[in-house]
Amino acid sequence: MSKRDFYEILGVSKSSTADEIKKAYRKMAIKYHPDKNQGDKAAEEKFKEAAEAYEILSNPEKKQRYDQFGHAGMGGGQGGFGGGMNMDDIFSQFGDIFGGGGGGGSPFESFFGGGRGGGRSRQAVGSNIRIKLKLNLEDITNGVEKKIKYKKKVVAEGVTFENCSTCNGRGQVTRVQSTFLGQMQTSSPCPTCKGNGKKVKNIPSGADGMGLITKEVTTTIDIPAGVADGMQLNVKSRGNEMPGGVAGDLIVLIEEIKHDTLERDGNNIIYNLHVSFPQAALGDEVEVPTVSGKVRIKIEAGTQSGKVLRLRGKGIPDVNGGYRTGDQLIYVNVFTPNKLNSEEKSIMQQLLGSENFTPDPTKEKGLFDKMKDFFN
């Protein structure tokens, strides 16, 4: 099933300000919050859907990419939270949207009676790593498996942990405040262990204060066919590790390497074919490059400059897999020589008065007819 438009989910437009988007998400989150709709799966899905939309639209870079590419720009479902989102992901990301301290306990516990048994323990998450990956047109068209070497922070061998004495291993601290509405209970990440629930007890030589060392690692990732320049692929848990917590993500930014002769236009591939005047007039067979190798095509006699030939299915697959593969479009350019020898000039002068060499616009197809031919 195709994803709904993120702007539609939050009830905002592309021109909405960051504050308007934030207010819209807060309204949706309050309406569908699980503490308020316990046991309602439909409300839980809407809550997750709103969180995913806000995760993209609240980030200027992701918003710009989404505005340009739609859901395809989010890495074919790998960016953002996607369908595998869980509640801890949402609260750890957006706790601050309600003024709850960013990653603390549910901001609704004080509103709806703390129905989650005093809040959930959070796991701290390591930082993400961003790398650039250059792909040629062949890799983009066919998809490719890439081995990537990069450096990341990992927990050093010999590191030991103990429960945090501040939060007793819960990862969060609870505060009770008196307000005009009565006593309000709020939870926030433990300031001592940063929400881990544990702290480093023994740090081996060479490790930093958190028990981490820098290590070069190799990981293999599958690049789907159809990715585009500027897209990001999110590889879960391949980023920097966090002692007592979970590793961040590896974010791969796609860069397209320009092809020598072929040009990408969406899911189509463009090739400019140059033929001589005799070839265009008499017809010929010529060889043209494609992503999958060279093919021979027929140039019909009388081919005009500007004619577009189509090789169906020789383009780029859609990254979402929901549409057909693009085509290769061949633009025919008839070369007119700017230098002629005396013999060539004599031949051309003989043809100058020929009826067949006199332009006749009435025999030429108009733009509408050419467009019909192009799409048929």
pLDDT per residue as tens digits for the range 11-66:
999 888 988 999 899 888 888 887 677 778 888 888 888 888 898 998 888 888 88
Distances (CA, A) of 37 to 28, 42, 118, 134, 275: 13, 9, 18, 46, 69
Domain boundaries, the chain: 1-85, 263-375
> Do you know the residue count of the chain?
376
363 phi and psi angles, rounded to 5 deg: -90, -10
263-375 has which fold?
A: HSP40/DNAj peptide-binding domain (2.60.260)
Reported as a single tens digit per residue, the pLDDT across 197-234 is 777 888 888 888 888 999 999 999 999 999 999 999 98
Reported as a single tens digit per residue, the pLDDT across 86-132 is 555 555 455 445 444 444 433 333 333 333 434 444 567 889 999 99
Position 350 confidence tier, pLDDT thresholds 50, 70, 90? confident
Which class is domain 1-85? mainly alpha
Position 366 confidence tier, pLDDT thresholds 50, 70, 90? low
According to the model, what pLDDT value does residue 192 have?
80
For the cut 80, the answer to whether the pLDDT of residue 76 exceeds it is: no
Q: Mean pLDDT in the chain?
A: 81
For the cut 60, the answer to whether the pLDDT of residue 313 exceeds it is: yes
Which tokens belong to 11? Answer: 């009830």
Closest CA to 233 of 82, 60, 92: 82
Task: Give Cα 368 distance to the centre of its chain.
Answer: 36
Q: Where are the beta strands (DSSP E) in the chain?
A: 129-135, 144-155, 160-163, 172-179, 182-189, 198-202, 212-223, 232-235, 250-256, 263-265, 268-276, 284-290, 293-299, 308-311, 328-335
The pairing of strands 129-135 and 250-256 is: parallel
Q: Determine what percent of the chain falls in helix, strand and coil, rounding each to the nearest 5.
A: 30, 30, 45
HSE, CB side, 13 Å, CA atoms: give it for residue 258: 2
DSSP state, residue 345:
H
